[in-house]
Amino acid sequence: MMTQTMIAPETLEDALAAMHAEPGSMALAGGATLVAMMNAGLVEPNSLVALRHVDTLRGTRQLDDGGIELGAMRRHRETALETPFKDGQTVLSYAASQIANPTVRNMGTLGGSIAFNDPGADYPAALVAANATILIVGATGTREVSAEAFFVDWYTTALEAGELVAGVRVPAALVGSIGHYEKLARIAGDFAVASVALQVTWSGDSIAAARIAIGGSGPTPLHLAEADDMLIGTGADSDALSKAGLLLAQAADPVDDVRASADYRRKVIPRLLAKAMREIAPAREAA
C-alpha cells in the first residue's frame, strides 16, 4: 500500500523537500484542475504537497525597472483585479479576468494553470505576448525560462520532476503600449476555442512595435516574430492584418475536439486578430 498523504508545508524549502521525499508527489495549488482530474480517475497521486501555506508564493513584487513579479499562488481573481499592471502588461489582467467564472477564479492559481499547460488555457498566450519569464525552483536551486521556452508540448512544460513554478516575472512594457486579450469561447467561462494575446505600441498612425501570441491553437502558444514584423510600420489595415493572421493560421497546429474543429480554429485566427485590433482602438485614441 502506498502512503497517501497530504503535506502542507509553510516554506518553499519544505515544499521542495516534500516533493523530493516522495516520488510521484504532486503539487496542489487551487485544485481546480488537479482535483477535477482525480475525480475523473485520470490521476492518482500518492502524495500531495499543498502550496497554500507558502506565503512567499502569494505576493507580487514591483521591480525598479517597471517589471512585476507574481507569485505562483496568485489566484486568477487577484491577477485580474488587484495587480498594478502598466501599459501592455495589462494583457495579463485581461486574460485572467476571462478565465472560467468568478468562483473558479477564487480557486485557480497562476502557477497551477501554467504548470498544467492546457491548450485552451488563457495565461500561456498572454505570458508569451508579455514576454514574461517563468521562475522555477528545484532541489538544486532556481532557474529562469522564458515563457516561450517554458511551454513545450501538449500539457507539457520545461518543469522537471520535483521542480515547482515559484512565479512569473513580467517585464515593463513599452511606454504607451496597449495590452489586450481576445478570447473566443463557446460560452463565457469555457476554455478558449482560440485566443489572441497582444501588446501593441503605436507611433502616430502606424504601429511601432507588436508582439502577438495565439492561444488554443496548438501544443504551445504560437508566436512568430515574422507575423509581428508584418504589422510594424502599418496602420493595422485589413491587408496587413490578414497577411499576419494567415501566416499565424498556417503555422497553428490546433486539435479537432468538442469545442471546434481544427479547420474552424485556423479560420478564426485572422479574424480574432482583426477583432483584437478593433477592440484596442479606443485605448489607442485615449493614449
Partner 1 sequence: MTEMVTLRVNGREHPCRAGIATTLLTVLRDQCELPGTKRGCNQGVCGACSVLVGGKPVRACLTLATDCEDREVTTIEGVGTPARPNAVQQALIDTGAVQCGFCTPGMVIAATALLEEHPDADIETIRQGLSSNLCRCSGYRKIVEAVSLAARRTAS
Partner 2 sequence: MKFEDSFVVAASPANVWRAITDPGVIASCLPGCEDIEALSPTSYRAGIRVEVGPIKATFRVEVELTDQDMPNFVRCITKGEEGTRASMLQATSELTLRDIDGASTEVAYDSDVSVTGRLGKFGLGVMKKKAESLGCTFAENFRVQVEAA
Ligand X SMILES: Cc1cc2nc3c(=O)[nH]c(=O)nc-3n(C[C@H](O)[C@H](O)[C@H](O)COP(=O)(O)OP(=O)(O)OC[C@H]3O[C@@H](n4cnc5c(N)ncnc54)[C@H](O)[C@@H]3O)c2cc1C
Q: Which residues bind ligand X (CB under 6 A)?
A: 26-34, 36, 51, 72, 99-100, 104, 107-109, 111-113, 115-116, 121-123, 159, 164-165, 190-191
- Rounded alpha-carbon distances, angstroms, from residue 91 to 27, 53, 94, 197, 228: 27, 28, 5, 7, 16
256 binds partner 2 (CB under 8 A): yes
Binding mask 211-240 for partner 2 (x = CB under 8 A): --------x---------------------
Which among partner 1, partner 2, ligand X, none contacts residue 253 (Cβ within 5 to 8 A by kind)? partner 2
Distance of CA 25 to the CA centre of its chain: 24
List beta partners, residue 214.
196, 222
Name residue 164's beta-bridge partners.
Answer: 137
Q: Would you count residue 40 as binding partner 1 (CB under 8 A)?
A: yes
Question: Can you tell me which of 113, 117, 131, 177 binds partner 2, judged by CB under 8 A?
Answer: 117
Cβ contacts of 176 within 8 Å, gap of 6 or more: 87, 201, 202, 287
Residue pair 99/122 in contact by the 8 Å Cβ criterion: yes
Widest CA span in the chain: 68
User: Of 42 and 225, which has the nearer Cβ to partner 1?
Assistant: 42
Grid cell of 245 as nine digits: 493572421
Phi, psi of 152 (to 5 degrees): -105, -45
Query: Which member of 12, 18, 48, 198 binds partner 1 (CB under 8 A)?
Result: 48
| Contact call for residue 155 and partner 2 (CB under 8 A) | yes
Say which residues have a Cβ less than 8 Å from residue 40's Cβ, sequence separation at least 6: none
Contact 56, 11 (CB under 8 A): yes
Alpha-carbon span 197 to 174, nearest angstrom: 16
Choose, by CB under 8 A, the member of 12, 16, 22, 47 that binds partner 1.
47
User: Does the footprint of partner 2 cover residue 43 (CB under 8 A)?
Assistant: yes
Among 14, 67, 69, 104, binds partner 1 (CB under 8 A): 104
The 8-class DSSP code of residue 88 comes to G
What mask of x and - would describe binding to partner 1 in positions 131 to 150, judged by CB under 8 A? --------------------
**Using CB under 8 A, which of the segments 12-20, 115-123, 228-236, 267-275 binds partner 2?**
115-123
Strand-pair category, 151-153 with 156-157: antiparallel
CB under 8 A: which stretch of 8-16, 33-41, 63-71, 206-214 binds partner 2? 33-41
Residue 50 binds which of ligand X, partner 1, partner 2, none (CB < 5-8 A, kind-dependent): partner 1
| Choice between 104 and 262, CB closer to ligand X | 104
192 in Cβ contact with 122 (< 8 Å): yes
* Residues near partner 2, by CB under 8 A: 26, 34, 37, 40-43, 116-117, 119, 154-156, 219, 253, 255-258
